[in-house]
């Protein structure tokens, strides 16, 4: 791929996803520099932050995002990135507050809910704290139904991932051992089902919540069948 074409590709593809494709993310820095004039300073600093984040240089990642926020302090994607940085720093309450504000602005942005769940993985109460915050959240019922549904969907991915890693074994299994125990204690399948059922109670017309709940049941049955075959 020619340099110009590669720069255009980097601009079109979110750098947070692009950095995962490189064994050495620093190779992206030169390309990000080259694309700066075309993509703008907000994109430049945000993208640079993701590269530093992948390299484990949290201070540089935070500095880059803060530089972008000085240009536009209300930029939704920047604030989302900043919340991720705060989670890494252990500033969970600040991160949760930002994510909740962003969700209120764009309730259907599912990427926000993945970050929301990640924040609660760092809390002691886990699901209990999520349930408490959702219950107190002042939203219209139709919006609150969507929030419950999307939280359930994000939460279900952790439940299923823990189960999947347990079956696959390998290094991934050892890495997930602690997370799996945490998941079973705080983020059980019953918790996911309760969230979906609450979404449905809040808005009987939320057909997507019915569909996602059915898919979760179906996936759970597949794992149950696999467990029975293995035993």
pLDDT tens series, the chain, 231 aa: 344 444 444 454 577 777 777 778 788 888 899 889 988 999 999 999 999 999 999 999 999 999 999 999 999 999 999 999 999 999 999 999 999 999 999 999 999 999 999 998 877 677 788 999 999 999 999 999 999 999 999 988 877 766 665 555 554 554 445 455 544 544 578 889 999 999 999 999 999 999 999 999 888 764 554 444 444
Residue-level pLDDT at 227: 47
Residues 6+ positions from 107 with CB-CB distance below 8 Å: 139, 143, 146, 147, 150
With contact defined as beta carbons under 8 Å apart, do 11 and 35 qualify? yes
Which among 70, 152, 69, 206 is positioned nearest to 83, based on CA atoms? Answer: 69
Output the pLDDT for position 162.
Answer: 61
Q: What is the pTM of this model?
A: 0.81
Q: In this predicted structure, what is the pLDDT of residue 171? A: 47
pLDDT given at position 226: 41
């Amino acid at each position: 791929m020619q340099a110009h074409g590669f720069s255009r590709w980097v601009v079109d593809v979110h750098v947070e996803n692009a950095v995962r494709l490189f064994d050495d993310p620093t190779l992206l820095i030169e390309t990000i520099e080259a694309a700066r004039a075309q993509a703008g300073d907000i994109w430049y600093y945000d993208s640079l932050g993701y590269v530093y984040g992948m390299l484990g240089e949290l201070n540089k990642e935070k500095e880059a995002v803060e530089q972008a926020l000085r240009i536009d302090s209300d930029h939704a994607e920047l604030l989302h990135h900043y919340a991720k940085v705060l989670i890494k720093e252990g500033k969970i309450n600040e991160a949760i507050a930002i994510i909740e504000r962003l969700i209120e602005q764009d309730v259907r942005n599912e990427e926000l809910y993945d970050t929301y769940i990640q924040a609660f993985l760092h809390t002691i109460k886990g699901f209990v704290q999520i349930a408490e915050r959702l219950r107190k959240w002042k939203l219209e019922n139709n919006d609150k139904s969507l929030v419950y549904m999307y939280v359930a969907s994000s939460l279900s991915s952790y439940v299923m991932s823990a189960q999947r890693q347990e079956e696959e074994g390998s290094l991934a299994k050892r890495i997930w051992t602690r997370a799996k125990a945490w998941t079973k204690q705080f983020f059980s399948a019953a918790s996911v089902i309760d969230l979906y059922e609450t979404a449905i109670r809040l808005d009987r017309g939320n057909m997507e919540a019915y569909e996602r709940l059915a898919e979760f049941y179906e996936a759970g049955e597949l794992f149950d069948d696999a467990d029975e075959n293995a035993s």
